[in-house]
Amino acid sequence: GQNIDQPTEMTATEGAIVQINCTYQTSGFNGLFWYQQHAGEAPTFLSYNVLDGLEEKGRFSSFLSRSKGYSYLLLKELQMKDSASYLCAVKDSNYQLIWGAGTKLIIKP
């Protein structure tokens, strides 16, 4: 079966750095995507990786290792507005997104 695992909840301090891990087992791989979702709102696209390595976009970076079935999202200089759920999703061999359950990130002052 297809499976994506990410921690249910994480807590971090304002101004700090946090890393959210995602491991996956899917039938085929056509990219790994990270989305941010605030409560009651729609998901917002953050970053994606198709090849191994690090992609940096401002305060957000995403890393991929296809051989290990592993990715992480790194958030730097945390702000209170970063409190949200972070969803990891993989496109499988049919180009359909397989979603993780999401990681709820709580930022404390």
Residues that bind another protein (CB under 8 A): 30-31, 33, 35, 41-45, 48, 50, 87, 89, 91, 95-97, 99-102
Torsion angles phi and psi, residue 95, rounded to 5:
65, 25
Residues in the chain: 109
**Residue 39 or 109 having the CB closest to another protein:** 39
Widest CA span in the chain: 43
Q: Which is nearer to another protein, 51 or 80 (CB)?
A: 51
The dihedrals phi and psi of 81, each to the nearest 5 degrees, come to: -70, -10
Least Å distance, CB 50 to another protein, is: 6
Closest distance of CB 39 from another protein, Å: 9
